[in-house]
Amino acid sequence: MKVKRQIITVEELLSRYAAGERDFTCIAINDSREGLFRGVDLSGINLEDFALSVDFSGAILKEANFRYTEWGRCSWENADFSGSDFTGINNGVECYIVRCNFSNTNWERANLWQSTFKDCNMTTANFDNASLAEVDLYR
């Protein structure tokens, strides 16, 4: 049985993160003002089972846990996700991701349907058993 996600605002998440909290498992963001995650450093954050429809452009999310997140619209540029875990993510709509660092990331069992990755660093990324239907990788 799936746990119901707690809905919080971007401001609340950022405030709790700044206070030292890192575990935001099973959260959904009510982002009425898009772009509040742009350029922030959320390294080490745990967003497992997170409903993700936010703009991480320019953000630093090194060593973050995105396991089993559900992706909504995403169009990200110049973000650093190095060392992060994307195991089992489910991309329900097409995403366009440009110049992001995904080095040393894990994408096992990820569904990346209709995602586009342009000029992204995928060095030593693991895509074992990932669904890459209609995925475009451009250099």
Taking only the tens place, the pLDDT of each residue in 92-136 is 778 899 999 999 999 999 999 889 999 999 999 999 999 988 898
Distance CA 117, CA 110 (A): 15
pTM, rounded to two decimals = 0.91
Element (H, E) at 70: strand 70-71
The overall average pLDDT reported for the chain is 90
CB atoms inside a 10 Å sphere around CB 11: 11
Q: For residues 61-78, give the mean pLDDT.
A: 91
Report whether pLDDT(1) > 50: no
Distance CA 137, CA 19 (A): 38
Tokens of 7: 């809905």
* More confident site: 31 or 66: 66
